[in-house]
Chain A
Amino acid sequence: MDTSSVKIILQILHYLFFGYAFASILSYIILSFISSKETIEYIKKRSFVNYKDILSSTISPSITIIAPAYNESLNIVENVRSLLSNHYVNYNVVIVNDGSKDDSLERLIKAYDLEKVHYIVNEKIATKPLRAGIFKSKNPAFEKLMVVDKENGGKADALNMGLNISTSKYVACIDVDCLLLEDALQKMIKPFLEVTDSKVIAAGGVIRIANSCEIRGGKLIDVNLPKNVLVQSQILEYLRAFLLGRMAWSRLNGLLVISGAFGIFDKEIAIAVGGYDTNTVGEDMEIIVRMRRYMEEKGEKYRVSYIPDPLCWTEAPDSYKVFISQRNRWTRGTIETLRKHRKIGFNPKYGWFGLVSYPYWLIFERLAPIFEAIGLIYFIILIVLQEVRWDFAISFFLLAYLFSVVFSIIALYSEELTFHQYKKKGTGFKLVLLSAIEPFVLHPFVLYAAIRGNYDYYFNKKKKWGNMVRKGLVNN
């Protein structure tokens, strides 16, 4: 090859990178605008809704909270208490003990006066069999509670068991270690009852980070900003993702993910598509994509809704090791889902879903770390070859960096003007400072974990789950 054709290839490569970076920044700008519109609309609507009638009404639709638990004995009793204290009349709680090896079941039996009951399970989705059986409380104060003990089959399998057992119209799938605020169900059920021109098939909630928050007896007493920089950075990252990204996608009806930690589904449709996929580590994304696909193929008008209120609080990893394994898993989940449903991508048959949402996820979420990694490698090669125009490099890095800081700050604004959870004096300054350092303390690890995820997905098939070591939310 002569030098001129190498030059041309390099030129094309440069344009590709510029084009990608430009498109990605542009998409962020557009999403920010859409999300601000949607947020204002949401706040207006929220300001005068009266939830009181709905929560006390016996004719409001039934909801089952399904919470899979695996070796959660440390906090399970307290967590169940918080699930039972939701302000909604027509709901019940199904704890699926997924073959735990610890004493979770014994603790639950003791704390809630449980006894074994006869219950015929309609096995609409195949799952691992029951182990000790199904339990209910003898105490009428806990009559909403049902505990199901089954053989271990993973989170998706446990959720499927819950879907089989529930007799409600809607199911709320949550992580048992999440702290759910009392008005969570009323708020989440609203879109299902409110929209009349299309069918709402699912609604997702926001996940907030509970590390360092004061929690007493299953209730969130006080919100604090943690000291750990990794956790702080994740808070910022979540704010950005939920308040800017998802808010905008919800307006576009293009949400592809509902956080596995808290989402409500129309049970009939969740079962019609076959429940959760037990062969993926990203079952929470996969089921939404499948449900959407199902509705598109049926040709029915539908929506996936999103409730931005801070209703669900959970513990985020506070060590880089755990963090990386969590993100590694997320990456693999995304790849699996997108690959499994690649038929949708760029397929006009699936309308907006196939032409915008799916490609966006593929290009700007799935492939972003790959592009970034290639870019970095290329940059290193240039350094080695001493071909770097340093003023070019520095100015573009600076630009990219400043953009990321601006987006973080916009997310902070969004938070302050809506939910304003971090009220303490001085926190604002810390959050702004965090926006400035987050690209250095969090982003490299996100990138690393994503690359590892890609590597593991393609070359290390044995790897299944990353372990999340729990410290427990209860600091009584």
Chain B
Amino acid sequence: MNKKKIVLAEDNSTLSLLLKFRLEKEGYELFVATDGKQAVDLIESMSPDLILSDIMMPFVSGLEVISHLRNKLNLNTPIIVFSSAGQEEMVLKAFNLGANDFMGKPFSPNELVIRIKRLLGT
């Protein structure tokens, strides 16, 4: 069976590592980007099945990642965005741009796994 591929864009290295471990245990293949630019590169080269992205990231924001994916690459890959408290406005924008789901920080990794499974239909 082919492993489903996930691109994770998150600038907090500890959180990235934590999620990477957790999701790899669930049987996914993880590609970690530390900023939006890397995320875009990874998305283009790996064509993942799902994307996890923080909204606030160095240089290219999560919003731009979504915009790039939906408008420039014309892909329907499901996206879950992470937002911090007080970024409600950004979350709305993310949905307008085509995000599928969001997780407000702080979040529980278990809940994330459930949402991922739902989106990937496994």
B-binding residues in A (CB < 8 A): 52-53, 55-58, 85, 87, 89, 139-141, 143, 182, 216-219
Q: State the CA gap A452–B67 with chains docked (Å).
A: 52
A residues near B60, Cβ cutoff 8 Å: 85, 217
A141 x B97 contact (CB < 8 A): yes
- Check B58–A219 contact: CB distance below 8 A: yes
Q: Are the C-beta atoms of B37 and A219 separated by less than 8 Å?
A: yes
B63 within 8 A of A: yes
* Given A56-B56, A141-B67, A141-B97, residue A89 in contact with residue B89 (CB < 8 A): yes
Q: Is the CB of A141 within 8 A of B86?
A: no
> Bound complex: CA of A52 vs CA of B85, how far in Å?
10
* Alpha-carbon distance between A291 and B19 when the two chains are bound, in angstroms: 52
User: B84: which of A52, A182, A217, A219 is its contact (CB, 8 Å)?
Assistant: A52
Residues in chain A near residue B34, CB distance under 8 A: none
Question: What's the least CB distance linking B94 to chain A, in Å?
Answer: 10
Asked if residues B89 and A58 are in contact (CB atoms below 8 Å), the reply is yes
A interface secondary structure, majority: loop
Task: Name the residue of chain B whose CB is nearest to the CB of A82.
Answer: B59
CA distance A182 to B58 in the complex (A): 7
Name A217's contact: one of B37, B61, B85, B90 (CB within 8 Å).
Answer: B37
Cα-based distance from A57 to B97 in the complex (angstroms)? 22
A89-B59 in contact (CB<8A): no
Number of interface residues of B (CB under 8 A): 19
Q: How far is the CB of A399 from the nearest CB of chain B, in Å? A: 48
Contact A182 B59, beta carbon cutoff 8 Å: yes
Chain A residues positioned under 8 Å from B93 (CB to CB):
140-141, 143
Which residue of chain A has its CB nearest to the CB of B87? A56
Kindly supply a per-residue 1/0 record for chain B positions 28-47, scoring 1 wherever the CB is within 8 Å of any chain A CB and 0 otherwise.
00000000010000000000
Q: Is B64 an interface residue (CB 8 A)?
A: yes
A89 vs B60: C-alpha distance in the bound complex, in angstroms?
15
Can you spell out 23 A-B residue pairs with CB atoms less than 8 angstroms apart?
Answer: A53-B86, A55-B56, A56-B56, A56-B85, A56-B87, A57-B86, A58-B88, A85-B61, A87-B56, A89-B87, A89-B89, A89-B90, A140-B93, A140-B96, A141-B63, A141-B67, A143-B93, A182-B59, A216-B37, A217-B37, A217-B59, A219-B37, A219-B59
Assess whether B96 is in contact with A89, with CB atoms less than 8 Å apart. no
CB distance from B35 to the nearest CB of A (A): 8
Q: Are A58 and B59 in contact (CB under 8 A)?
A: no
B109 CB, min distance to chain A CBs, angstroms: 21
Chain A neighbourhood of B63, CB < 8 A: 141
Please name the residue on chain B nearest to A87 by beta carbon: B56
* Minimum C-beta distance from A59 to chain B (A): 9
Closest to B84 in A: A56
Which residues of chain B are within 8 angstroms of A58 by Cβ–Cβ distance? 86, 88-89
CA distance A6 to B16 in the complex (A): 80
